[in-house]
């Protein structure tokens, strides 16, 4: 039997303890169902020690009896005060480690004496030494201190895929680090590291808190900042709304009886859209991207040298973070290992190897395909009705549920067609359509009536797609039974048939911020036909580059005829479009 060595991620905001048992990595629950311990300690009213959630809850009311973010002070000789007593940073960290040790022992039913602890790559010798001492004070033998990006690479098993370079982007609650690592035959070397010790998901919460306090000031002429209890509740509400905005297009910041003014209770209820939220946090994300480039140049590398991006830290679940990284570095970041637990898992894997066991594999169910819908949006400088809008990206752990907001494009639009595609191409028509349905009976509203479309994929590959009219709650949905297995292999012929069918029917799809309809007014029909004609021309022009001389001539003629007819009658335009669509079909589009 191998000896027990646990792995601990001793984080600024949160900490976790993990172990490898029977070849599996297990992050040990702190309380049933929760595997994250907030890195706070405090002294309760009765003098007892609080560690974790309880300390976090009392922090806003009794900061003088609580300590948080002690990791930022590690390696300093100064002491911190808690309930009138002085403690060294090592002692405070030891309280967190001790609690994690107790949790691990209770879970395993055996004493735990050895540990691997992770630290940021930029930690100095003094900070590493202080971390070792914290372990010793907690009664643990620190068998190794490893770098957090190294642990992340171990959890992602990046080192098993041959020599490569990875960018580890770690955005936690209060800190941001980016490291460039070299992975070669199971050795992880940190080439460079950069970051900001005071940037993280908590700053995103602050933006939402300001949004709510501004709202209360305008609505009720009240300054919530003067009321610590209300601020503490607002803090929770803001974080909850932020987390919702990672998977939904809208969230409501709400707290009943938040305050009283002149004896009248004041309730908070204010909606924030993901678009508004993304505008608030964009400057923070831009700052992290600057740091990415600094880290790259520190390693003497360019974007082209990077083989993969590994996401670490809870705040990397923010869709804007993933989107901006993908835009900036031209590759989809890897996010399949739980970003909160990734570092602790890597520490446990390192611990298992030191204990003489086999390096285990982190088993995760992920979707091998991207699923999404289509909508009218700008595509190559033109409005195009079949722009692909991915909702669930390839390699996302399942089960997963993601929502996106769309709007109608016509006044009085009563129906919207929802198309469901599997694929990666920005042109939805190049992906495989795996289902469609119509949401009908929408309220009589001007263009811009919002709809929320949700894709939920379970571990059995059952995809449920739901579309809900935001204002009325009217819902339509479709269930696709084996979305993952059924559409594997070469389905191009079927896709082609569907494309042909779509062009034949002239039935458009919907795009944020607009959605098409099957029941539009005559002038809307006219406009829509022209949008579709534009899309068809676009598609034909793209094919030109690949077509042989003869086909190219036919294409140019077909395009000309459609262009000439856009000023003419709908019927003539439709005939020209059908002819061009036929041509595209025969040219094997």
Cβ proximity to ligand AMP: between 315 and 533 the closer is: 315
Which ranges constitute the DSSP H helices of 197-273?
201-220, 228-245
CA distance 401 to 248: 9
In the bound state with ligand AMP, the residue whose beta carbon lies nearer, of 173 and 461, is 173
Give the x-and-dash track for 312-331 against ligand AMP (CB under 6 A): -xxx-xx-------------
How many other C-beta atoms can be found within 10 angstroms of the C-beta atom of residue 254? Answer: 15
Letters for 120-159 (x = contact with ligand AMP by CB under 6 A, - = none) are: ----------------------------------------
Q: Tokens 């964009």 appear where? A: 282
196 binds ligand AMP (CB under 6 A): no
Residue with tokens 């001539």: 553
- Establish whether 560 is a catalytic residue: no
Nearest to 271 by CA among 237, 222, 315: 237
Listed ranges 110-118, 120-128, 199-207, 282-290: which one lies at the site for ligand AMP (CB under 6 A): 199-207
Q: Are 589 and 541 in contact (CB under 8 A)?
A: no
Give least dist CB 237 to ligand AMP, A: 12
Contacts of range 131-135, beta carbons closer than 8 Å, 24 or more positions apart: 131/10, 131/74, 131/93, 133/90, 134/10, 134/74, 134/89, 134/90, 134/91, 134/93, 134/94, 134/97, 135/94, 135/97
Q: Which CB sits closer to ligand AMP, 120 or 200?
A: 200
**Please, which residue, 318 or 370, has the CB nearer to ligand AMP?**
318
From 9-17, 274-282, 303-311, 495-503, span contacting ligand AMP (CB under 6 A): 9-17
Binding residues among 542-571 for ligand AMP as defined by CB under 6 A = none
User: Of 16, 133, 148, 469, which one is the catalytic site residue?
Assistant: 148
Is 500 assigned a catalytic role?
A: no
Residue of 4, 6, 8, 11 that binds ligand AMP (CB under 6 A): 11
Count residues binding ligand AMP (CB under 6 A): 18
Name 37's bridge partners: 15
If you search the block for the tokens 């992340």, which residue do you land on?
152
Q: Determine the Cα–Cα distance for residues 131 and 71; give it in Å rounded to an integer.
A: 9
In the bound complex, what is the minimum distance in angstroms from residue 66's beta carbon to ligand AMP?
18
Judged by beta carbon, residue 16 or residue 308, the one nearer ligand AMP is: 16
Q: What's the burial of 474, exposed, middle or buried (CB within 10 Å: 0-12/13-18/19+)?
A: middle
For residue 319, the minimal CB distance to ligand AMP (Å) is 9
- Is 375 within 8 Å of 509 (Cβ atoms)? yes
CB of 35 to ligand AMP, least distance (A): 11
**CA–CA separation, 235 vs 485, rounded Å?**
43
Alpha carbons 297 and 288: distance in angstroms, whole number: 14
User: Is 554 labeled as catalytic in the residue annotation?
Assistant: no
Q: Is 288 in the site for ligand AMP (CB under 6 A)?
A: no
From CA 300, how far away is CA 305, in angstroms rounded?
Answer: 10
Report in angstroms how near the CB of residue 132 gets to ligand AMP at its nearest. 22
Does residue 350 bind ligand AMP (CB under 6 A)?
Answer: no
Convert residues 230-259 into a mask of x (bound to ligand AMP by CB under 6 A) and - (unbound): ---------x--xx--x-------------
| 7 touches ligand AMP by CB under 6 A | no
Cis before 130 (ω within 30): no
Closest separation between CB of residue 167 and ligand AMP, Å? Answer: 17
Catalytic residue among 16, 91, 133, 170: 170
- DSSP labels for 375-439? EEEEETTEEEEEEEEEEE-TT-BSSEEEEEEEE--STT--EEEEEEEES--SBGGGSEEEEEEEE
Residue 202 found at the interface with ligand AMP (CB under 6 A)? yes
User: Cβ of residue 197: shortest distance to ligand AMP, in angstroms?
Assistant: 13
Residue 510 known to be catalytic: no
Name the DSSP letter for residue 62. Answer: -
Q: Which is nearer to ligand AMP, 200 or 333 (CB)?
A: 200
- Give the pair of three-digit tokens for residue 141: 């033998």
The token pair at 171 is: 């955005």
CA dihedral 310, 311, 312, 317 (to 10 degrees): -170
Of 245 and 576, CB closest to ligand AMP: 245
Q: Which of 16, 71, 340, 377 is catalytic?
A: 71
Determine which residue in the list 52, 172, 195, 534 makes contact with ligand AMP, applying CB under 6 A: 172
Output 151 or 480, the one with its CB closest to ligand AMP. Answer: 151
- Continuous segment of H or E residues that includes residue 518: none
Per CB under 6 A, the segment of 7-15, 92-100, 109-117, 156-164 that binds ligand AMP is 7-15
Among 8, 10, 14, 507, binds ligand AMP (CB under 6 A): 14
Contact 339, 317 (CB under 8 A): yes
Chain residues binding ligand AMP by CB under 6 A are: 11, 13-14, 172-173, 200-202, 239, 242-243, 246, 313-315, 317-318, 340
| Active site residues per annotation | 9, 71, 148, 170
């Amino acid at each position: 039997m191998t000896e027990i060595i646990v792995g601990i991620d001793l984080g600024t905001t949160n900490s976790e303890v993990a172990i490898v048992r029977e070849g599996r990595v297990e992050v040990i629950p702190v309380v049933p169902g929760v595997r994250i311990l907030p890195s706070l300690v405090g002294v309760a009213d009765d003098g007892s020690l609080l560690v974790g959630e309880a300390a976090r809850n009392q922090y806003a009311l009794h900061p003088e009896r609580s300590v948080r973010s002690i990791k930022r002070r590690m390696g300093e000789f100064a002491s911190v005060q808690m309930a009138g007593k002085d403690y060294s940073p090592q002692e405070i960290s030891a309280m967190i480690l001790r609690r994690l040790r107790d949790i691990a022992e209770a879970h395993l039913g055996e004493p735990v004496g050895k540990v691997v602890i992770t630290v940021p790559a930029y930690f100095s010798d003094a900070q590493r030494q202080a971390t070792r001492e914290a372990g010793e004070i907690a009664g643990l033998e620190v068998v190794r201190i490893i770098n957090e990006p190294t642990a992340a690479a171990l959890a992602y098993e990046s080192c098993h895929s041959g020599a490569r370079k990875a960018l580890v982007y770690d955005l936690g609650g209060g800190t941001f680090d980016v490291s460039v690592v070299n992975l070669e035959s199971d050795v992880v070397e940190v080439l460079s590291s950069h970051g900001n010790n005071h940037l993280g998901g908590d700053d995103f919460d602050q933006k939402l808190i300001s949004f709510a306090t501004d709202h209360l000031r305008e609505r009720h002429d009240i300054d919530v900042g003067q009321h610590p209890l209300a601020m503490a509740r607002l803090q929770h509400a803001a974080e909850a709304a932020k987390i919702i905005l990672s998977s939904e297009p809208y969230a409501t910041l709400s707290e009943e009886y938040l305050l009283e003014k002149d004896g009248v209770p004041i309730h908070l209820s204010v909606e924030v859209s993901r678009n508004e939220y993304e505008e608030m946090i964009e400057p923070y994300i831009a700052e992290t991207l600057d740091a990415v480039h600094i880290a790259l140049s520190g390693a003497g590398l360019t974007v082209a040298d990077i083989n993969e991006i590994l996401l670490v830290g809870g705040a990397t679940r923010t869709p804007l973070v993933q989107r901006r990284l993908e835009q900036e570095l031209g590759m989809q970041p890897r996010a399949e290992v739980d970003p909160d637990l990734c570092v602790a898992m890597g520490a446990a894997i390192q611990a298992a190897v030191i204990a003489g066991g086999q390096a285990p594999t982190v088993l995760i169910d992920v979707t091998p395909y991207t699923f999404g819908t289509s909508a009218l949006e700008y595509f190559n400088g033109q409005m195009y009705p079949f722009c692909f809008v991915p909702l669930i990206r390839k390699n996302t752990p399942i089960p997963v549920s993601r929502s996106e907001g769309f709007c109608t494009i016509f006044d009085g639009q009563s129906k919207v067609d929802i198309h469901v595609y599997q694929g990666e191409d920005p042109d939805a028509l190049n992906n495989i359509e795996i289902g469609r349905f119509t949401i009908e009976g929408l309220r009589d509203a001007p263009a811009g009536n919002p709809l929320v479309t949700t894709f939920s994929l379970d571990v059995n590959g059952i995809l449920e797609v739901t579309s809900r009219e935001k204002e009325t709650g009217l819902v339509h949905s479709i269930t696709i039974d084996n979305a993952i297995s059924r559409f594997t292999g070469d389905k191009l012929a079927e896709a082609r048939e569907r494309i042909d069918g779509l062009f034949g029917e002239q039935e458009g799809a919907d795009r944020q911020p607009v959605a098409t309809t099957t029941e539009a007014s005559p002038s809307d029909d006219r406009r829509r036909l022209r949008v579709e004609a534009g899309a068809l021309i676009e598609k034909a022009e793209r094919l030109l580059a690949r077509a042989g001389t003869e086909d190219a001539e036919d294409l140019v003629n077909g395009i000309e005829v459609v262009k000439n007819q856009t000023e003419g009658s709908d019927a003539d335009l439709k005939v020209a479009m059908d002819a061009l669509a036929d041509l595209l079909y025969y040219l094997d589009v």
